[in-house]
Structure 1
Amino acid sequence: MNVNVATERKSLKVLIVEDTKTITNLLQVYLMGWGLEFVDAPNGAVGLNKAREFKPDLIISDVQMPEMDGFALCAAVRADSNLHDTPFMLLTSLKDDASRKKGQLVGASAFLNKPVSVDDLRSKVRDMLKLPATK
């Protein structure tokens, strides 16, 4: 007897930590087409709690936010044994080399400047999550 078992692909979760709701919504629109599940947080402190609760496959975070900035969030994620391998992308309007170096020091997987290039964002996310190209 031949049994055909359908395998369901787990939906990949992306945590977007951004204090501007419009940017959160834009990022979600930019990343449509892969069936990603989105969770969002308005600052790093809330983002860290949500990361611990939802265990995302990718974290995309603004740098400049109230309560806990993106650098501190990235460092906290890297220090957490359950999250330390999670790909982490920092987005910022800061364009200085010191900020980029700080992002590397805290363990960011990628660092993109705002305004974000949709192609660059999609390319980085595709690489980090090992997603297929979309039409």
Structure 2
Amino acid sequence: MAGMAYTILVADDEPAIRTMLEVILSADGHEIVTVPDGKAALDYLRDHTPDALLLDVTMPQMDGFEVCSRVKRVRRLKGAPVLLLTALDDDRTRDQARLVGADDLVYKPLSGKNLRSRVKQLIEARRA
């Protein structure tokens, strides 16, 4: 029996990465909503409460750190884990992710299987 289907918001300015994430995550039956930048993510979040968010760290207009820090201040969205996507595997990125309250850092290039299990674990841990 398959697990629950979740709604996952993906914000990344690279169309190819958005498509790849959609393919990877929808394999588990989740509904994937994709947006091209942080501002579009906040627009979506005004009226929707996804089960999880995947935010690229480096986006034009508003980066993933900023979106994450804003999401964490909204009571309605507090239950949704935020995963930050980055190609930068360094202390500064990790510190900044902790500072804005990110639940996990996911490094590019992505492993699909790994990403799917981490998203699922984070959502289920929040629901428990």
TM-score (norm 1): 0.84
Aligned residues: 123
Return the offset for 1:59: 0.3
Unaligned runs of 5+ in 1: 1-8
The alignment status of 1:57 with 2:32, answered yes or no, reads no
The equivalent of 1:18 in structure 2 is: 12
The CA distance in 1 between the partners of 2:73 and 2:124, in whole Å, is 24
Amino acid across the alignment from 2:85: L
1:75 is matched with which residue?
A: 69
Which portions of structure 1, spanning 4 or more consecutive aligned residues, are displaced by more than 6 angstroms? none
- Pairwise CA RMSD of aligned residues? 1.8
Q: Is the contact between residue 26 and residue 32 of structure 2 (CA under 8 Å) also seen in structure 1?
A: no
Task: Decide whether aligned partners of structure 1 residues 87 and 52 sit closer, same or farther in structure 2, where only a CA change above 3 A counts.
Answer: same
1:18–1:43 Cα contact (<8 Å) kept: yes
For residues 54 and 47 of structure 1, the distance between their equivalents in structure 2, rounded to whole angstroms, comes to 10
Q: Which residue is equivalent to 1:46? A: 40
Choose between structure 1 and 2: higher helix proportion: 2
The percentage of counterpart residues that share the same residue type is: 37
Residue in structure 1 matching 2:117, options 98, 123, 135: 123
Aligned AA (1:14): I
